[in-house]
Amino acid sequence: MNAEMIEYAAGAVVGVVLIVVIVNLLTLPFQLLFKLIINSVVGAIMLYIINLVGLITIKITFIHCFIAGTFGVPGVIGLMIYTYMFKH
C-alpha cells in the first residue's frame, strides 16, 4: 500500500465518523420531543386514573400532564398535595 491509498482510507473513515456524528446531533431533538410527548400522555393517564378513583380531583391540563410525565409518581403526589392544600 502506498501513502495515497492510506490517505484516501483515512479520509473515508473521518468522513463516515463525521456523518454519523451529524446525524446523531440532528436526531437528538426529535428523540427528546418524542419522549416529552410520551411522558405527557402517561402523565395524563395517571391523572385520569386519580380522578377516576375519586380521591381528589385534579384538572388535566398541559402543565399538570407535563409535571406528572416529567417527574412520574412523585410529580403526581406533588400535584395531589398542591391541589388538596391550595385548591380544596
pLDDT of residue 39: 83
C-alpha pair distances (Å), 17 with each of 9, 29, 39: 12, 20, 32
| Average pLDDT taken over every residue of the chain | 85
Q: Which residues of the chain have pLDDT under 50?
A: none
DSSP at 43 = H
